[in-house]
């Protein structure tokens, strides 16, 4: 995935101030023989990340950010067709059991 020049500066700002980030990026481009342009390929960003690691100036995290930024975006998943909710089976309303005429629901007394 292409990464813009401005985005590279933003990433370098996680370690340096704005002006230093621009100077460090210019140095990396020069050392890696990459021309200044509006956007860079993943391979070019990898070279910049390698340069950052070679600096040994607490730039490991910057190199990691650069690599993440250059990764291609994941392919969108094919949209699954919408699934209609299953209709609940029709159930007849159950009637309450009828009480027998002689039953009151209380236990009978013996005696």
Residue 80 has pLDDT above 60, yes or no: no
Higher-pLDDT residue of 81 and 28 is 28
For the stretch 12-65, pLDDT in tens is: 999 999 999 999 999 999 999 999 999 999 999 999 999 999 988 899 999 999
Taken in order 58, 60, 61, 67, is the CA torsion positive or negative?
positive
For the residues 69-97, what does the mean pLDDT come to?
65
Q: What is the pLDDT of residue 56?
A: 86
Strand, coil or helix: 97? coil
Q: What is the average pLDDT value for the chain, to the nearest integer?
A: 83
Q: How far apart are CA 90 and CA 2, in angstroms?
A: 57
Q: How far apart are CA 8 and CA 45, in angstroms?
A: 9
Q: What is the pLDDT of residue 73?
A: 66
Q: How far apart are CA 5 and CA 10, in angstroms?
A: 9
pLDDT band at 76 (very low <50, low <70, confident <90, very high): low
Domain spans in the chain, listed from the N-terminal domain onward: 3-70
pTM of the predicted model, to two decimals?
0.63
Q: What is the pLDDT of residue 52?
A: 94
48 contacts: CB under 8 Å, gap ≥ 6:
8, 25, 28, 29, 32, 34, 40, 66
């Amino acid at each position: 995935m292409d990464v813009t020049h401005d985005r590279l500066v933003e990433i370098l700002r996680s370690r340096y101030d704005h002006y230093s980030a621009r100077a460090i990026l210019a140095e990396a481009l020069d050392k890696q023989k990459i021309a200044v342009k509006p956007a860079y390929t993943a391979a070019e960003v990898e070279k910049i990340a390698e340069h950052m690691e070679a600096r040994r100036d607490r730039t490991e995290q910057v190199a990691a950010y650069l690599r993440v930024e250059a990764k291609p975006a994941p392919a969108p998943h094919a949209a699954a067709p919408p699934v209609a909710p299953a209709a609940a089976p029709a159930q007849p309303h159950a009637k309450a059991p009828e009480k027998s005429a002689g039953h009151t629901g209380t236990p009978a007394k013996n005696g």
